[in-house]
Amino acid sequence: MDREETSARIAALIEPFNKKEVAITDATRFTDDLEFDSLTVMDFVAAIEDEFDIIISMNQQAEIETYGQLVDAVTKLQG
Amino acid sequence: MTDMLDDDVTQAHVDLFSKFDPLIAMRRDLLATGVTDPFGLVMERVISPTVAVCNGRETILLGTYNYMGMTFDPDVIEAGKQALDDFGSGTTGSRVLNGTYAGHKAVEQALCDFYAMDHAMVFSTGYQANLGIISTIAGKGDYIVLDIDSHASIWDGCKMGDAEVVPFKHNDIEAMEKRLRRIPEGAGKLVVLEGVYSMLGDIAPLKEMIAVAKKYGAMVLVDEAHSMGFIGPNGRGVAEEQGCLDQVDFVIGTFSKSVGTVGGFCVSNHPKFEIMRLVCRPYVFTASLPPSVVATACTSIRKLMHAGDKRAHLWGNSRVLHKGLRDAGFQLGTEEPQSAIISVIMPDLERGAAMWEALLHEGLYVNLARPPATPANMTLLRCSLCAEHSAEQVQQIIGMFTRAGKAVGIIG
Ligand SMILES: Cc1ncc(COP(=O)(O)O)c(C=O)c1O
């Protein structure tokens, strides 16, 4: 799956978590812009893991601050 | 290469404490409402496992995790005094150098006997036991799969090691299995669970979870800090109660709750377990427990092997308090009493703190737990029962809760 398709699927997954309907770009930050707390992060990460059948460990999550970084990571994790 | 600063130039000072500003503000706002600081209580005198003097007032203790009431057991006290006389006040050394006395070996043997396991390793605290074992056995390229509501010492053990850390939703067997299934083949896997989760007092479906973990070839560590002495036919914990203790690779426990002193341990049947004593840094690079502490722990553990009456009384207390608080209209952490922890859910931090203080004025101490330490950011009043609470004390406690709850407006 290429980056564009991955991005489209993640964008769909993010919707229920994007309570304030922030416009998403690659630079959107999860904590600062989307105001995700740790519980939201857990549910959102679980949704992505299930959608793509991958693991995003906490170690990897620590490196992901923006939407663009997440799309890159998921694209890469799918191999 | 960056240039050195000129002699007459200094950079702006950055206060490393500014990251605590939100917490400082939250505390200030809370205390500004006039409530007593819930995290600054002093026990001026301790009269028994269930009663202390706080602010000059006799107070029933309902938040101490002193489940079996061993802190004033005459045999335990006597063993401690004897050890002070015979071995002195401290070891001044690491377990692997000059800090292993006869008493340390004796308490490890008591643990082997208590759990019917081959190996026991005693740490200076339960916190260090989790920190040490988890960070040491799960290394680079290995995966730790753990419950999201795990105790801080488990999280810190994960953080200290080099393994990949993968949490799953609390007690969710399917969520755990999905994560195990996705781990690359050949990687080492450690599943970390707790018998009793201390925030809500709920237990884990260990039998099902451990069966899944084993199907995926994982090793299993279970923290039984809040079950020792009164859950399971021999008080070995939730895994024993559910008949799966033989499937657990490592049990972590503490002396700071049912045992009634301080210290932590890991018991295991792993044939190579003894190597931990050389490679586990939180075991090696710290001083061992004082002789009096290991002597009190040893005596207490051996007495807990024959504490059937106390255990039955503790469970009775738990059932009566759970029903009493529920009937009074409080929202509790579990539908049924599952452990010796009854957690009362507060509507918010302000009213939780007000309720905590109202209880203290009634003469009752409970634990206030607040976000972010709590699941789902709840504010909780955690009650932990003791086998030494009398039936009358439990009724008194229900009365105090009811009066305070009405005064603060938490129940109608
Ligand atoms: C689940 C759990 N594990 C470990 C610990 C740490 O025990 P200790 O007080 O011996 O450091 C505690 C207690 O705080 C606990 O609740």
State the ipTM, two decimals.
Answer: 0.92
- What Å distances lie between residue B230 and B196, B198, B237, B245, B319, CA to CA? 12, 15, 7, 15, 14
Task: Give B257's pLDDT tier (boundaries 50, 70, 90).
Answer: very high
Task: Give B373's pLDDT tier (boundaries 50, 70, 90).
Answer: confident
Q: Quick check: B36 pLDDT over 90?
A: no
From chain A, pick out residues whose CB is under 8 angstroms from the CB of B187.
Answer: none
**For residues B368-394, average pLDDT:** 93
pLDDT tens-digit readout, B325-350 = 999 999 999 999 999 999 999 999 88
d(C-alpha B402, C-alpha B393), whole Å: 14
**For residues B60-89, average pLDDT:** 98
Residue B337 preceded by cis peptide, ω within 30: no
Mean pLDDT of all residues belonging to chain B: 96
Q: Quick check: B254 pLDDT over 80?
A: yes
How distant is the Cα of A39 from the closest Cα of chain B, in angstroms?
7
Establish whether residue B338 lines the binding site of ligand 1, counting it when its CB lies within 6 angstroms of any ligand atom.
no
DSSP structural state of residue B287: B
Q: Quick check: B2 pLDDT over 90?
A: no
Q: Would you say B294 and B124 are in contact if contact means Cβ atoms under 8 Å apart? A: no
Q: Kindly report the protein residue whose alpha carbon is nearest to atom 15 of ligand 1.
A: B225
Percent over 90 (pLDDT), chain B:
91
Q: How many A/B residue pairs have CB atoms within 8 Å?
A: 34
DSSP E strand stretches across B231-323 = 250-254, 264-268
Q: Quick check: B112 pLDDT over 60?
A: yes
Q: Work out which ligand 1 atom sits closest to the CA atom of B198.
A: 16
Q: Quick check: B93 pLDDT over 90?
A: yes
d(C-alpha B307, C-alpha B325), whole Å: 27
Task: Report the Cα B384 to chain-centroid distance in Å.
Answer: 12
Q: Would you say B151 and B198 are in contact if contact means Cβ atoms under 8 Å apart? A: yes
Q: Is A54 on the interface with B (CB under 8 A)?
A: yes
Helix axes B206-215, B173-182, angle to 10 degrees: 10
Q: Quick check: B1 pLDDT over 60?
A: no
pLDDT of the residue at A19? 86
Establish whether residue B224 lines the binding site of ligand 1, counting it when its CB lies within 6 angstroms of any ligand atom.
no
Query: What backbone torsions phi and psi does residue B344 show, to the nearest 5 degrees?
Result: -105, 120
Q: Quick check: B83 pLDDT over 60?
A: yes
pLDDT (tens, 9 = 90+) of chain A, 79 residues, equals: 789 999 999 999 999 999 888 899 999 999 889 999 888 898 999 999 999 999 999 999 999 999 999 999 999 998 7
Query: What backbone torsions phi and psi does residue B245 show, to the nearest 5 degrees?
Result: -60, -30
